[in-house]
Amino acid sequence: MSDTPNPNDTPESAGQEPEEPRTPHRIIGTPPPAQSRAMLADETGDHHEPPPELPPVPDNPVRARRAERIVAACFLLSALAGVGFIAAYVGLEVNGLDSTLRSNLALGTSLSVVFLGLGVGAVLWVRNIMPDVELTEQRKPLASPPEQREEFAETFNAGAAASGFKRPLLRRTLLLATAPLAAIPLVLLRDMGPLPGTSLRHTVWRKGMRLIVYGPNTPLRPADFSNPGQMITVVPEGYQDNQVALAKATTIIIKFAPGQLRPPTVMNWTVDDIVAYSKICTHVGCPVALYEQTTHHILCPCHQSTFDAIHGARVIFGPAPRALPQLPLGTDSQGYLIATSDYHVPVGPSFWELGGSGFTGGNES
């Protein structure tokens, strides 16, 4: 490389003498071997062989010799690291975070050194030991010569003629035969899933179903949820481990101070200023739950649709097109919060069959 001091820069490089050269000593002033070979070939010009394109010796034997040692060191290092990898694999058990950390560090470092050693060694090899060459290869035009194209066309047409493909009955019935064949793979995919039906319009919420706090799975009384500014994720009792049900039925309840809630929130569906909204964003279905008790915003962490919890969770920013549906709430005989029905509009992302009735903000009864 050009940025390392090159012993050959000074013509009378004294440094060459102590290290007995393995390649023939070059006398100053004679051309480098590659060139001398070339000249030789030129002089004995009756050889039909052109000068060798790849000279068999390095451009700079001194540097090549030094590089050889460095390359060998790189490869040795790589081999050692490879052994180190195996040693680390055998020696370091993993059974938790800290042991994995040690193992990952040891295995990863040794593997990196294996490849770095090989890579650096190979590049130094190419750059310092292989002679620098630049060869030229001619490109042939990619287009075939006209006569070849003609031959092709003739052969093709001859084949087509011999095949009798021009007979309309054969051609049409063959095409006809392939049409159902193309449809068969599609038909076979039919049983990949059930038809949607109206399932996107409903959740598992039913009249009388208790709201339970997700996680501990405990029901709530309005009195338990009494501080204005409270928010918690609830799910229908009995469905806490049913992911398909939860993907639509997950709900948040928020407690307000008396008189804070405003239309289009349906007041009949609240209990003691506790309001329940679907937690499934009407944009593409992320759970929305970044509730800010100061601004009453419910923000979706995925695409930042923002809903105003005071005003029936209407949309105030972002790509969601519909308010979060409101779940009608009541209490059961034991005083626990229950749903008094399913959501009145579909929850979650829009879909083709949703229709305009899905856009009434949940206050349709």
Beta carbon of residue 142, minimum distance to other proteins (angstroms, whole number): 5
Q: Which is nearer to other proteins, 108 or 159 (CB)?
A: 108
Binding flag, residue 83, other proteins (CB under 8 A): no
Beta carbon of residue 338, minimum distance to other proteins (angstroms, whole number): 16
Beta bridge partners of 219: 212
Question: Which x/- pattern over 35-74 shows residues binding other proteins (rule: CB under 8 A)?
Answer: x--x------------xxxxxx--xx--------------
Query: Using an 8 Å Cβ cutoff, are 234 and 253 in contact?
Result: yes
Residues ≥6 apart with Cβ < 8 Å to 17: none
Beta carbon of residue 41, minimum distance to other proteins (angstroms, whole number): 11
CA–centroid distance for 222 within its chain: 45
Q: Which is nearer to other proteins, 321 or 330 (CB)?
A: 321
Binding flag, residue 101, other proteins (CB under 8 A): yes
Count CB atoms within 10 A of the CB of residue 94.
13
Binding flag, residue 151, other proteins (CB under 8 A): no
Spatial CA neighbour of 288 closest among 297, 122, 37 = 297
Query: Using an 8 Å Cβ cutoff, are 240 and 217 in contact?
Result: yes
Beta carbon of residue 284, minimum distance to other proteins (angstroms, whole number): 3
Q: Which is nearer to other proteins, 102 or 341 (CB)?
A: 102
Q: Rounded CA gap, 73 and 75, in Å? A: 5
Contacting other proteins within 306-335 (CB under 8 A) = 306, 315, 317-321
Binding flag, residue 30, other proteins (CB under 8 A): no
Query: Using an 8 Å Cβ cutoff, are 237 and 210 in contact?
Result: yes
Residues ≥6 apart with Cβ < 8 Å to 353: 196, 200
Beta bridge partners of 314: 308
Exactly one of 15, 21, 108, 159 binds other proteins (CB under 8 A); which one? 108
Beta carbon of residue 232, minimum distance to other proteins (angstroms, whole number): 5
Q: Which is nearer to other proteins, 121 or 328 (CB)?
A: 121
Exactly one of 23, 36, 100, 144 binds other proteins (CB under 8 A); which one? 100
Count CB atoms within 10 A of the CB of residue 252.
23
The piece of 21-29, 111-119, 161-169, 330-338 that touches other proteins (CB under 8 A) is 111-119
Structure tokens that stand for 313 in this block: 């969770």
Binding flag, residue 159, other proteins (CB under 8 A): no
Binding flag, residue 358, other proteins (CB under 8 A): yes
Contacting other proteins within 226-285 (CB under 8 A) = 226-233, 235, 241, 243-244, 246-248, 250, 254-255, 279, 283-285
Residues ≥6 apart with Cβ < 8 Å to 244: none
Rounded to 5 degrees, what angle do the CA atoms 81, 82, 88 make? Answer: 80
- Judged by CB under 8 A, how many residues of this single chain contact other proteins? 132
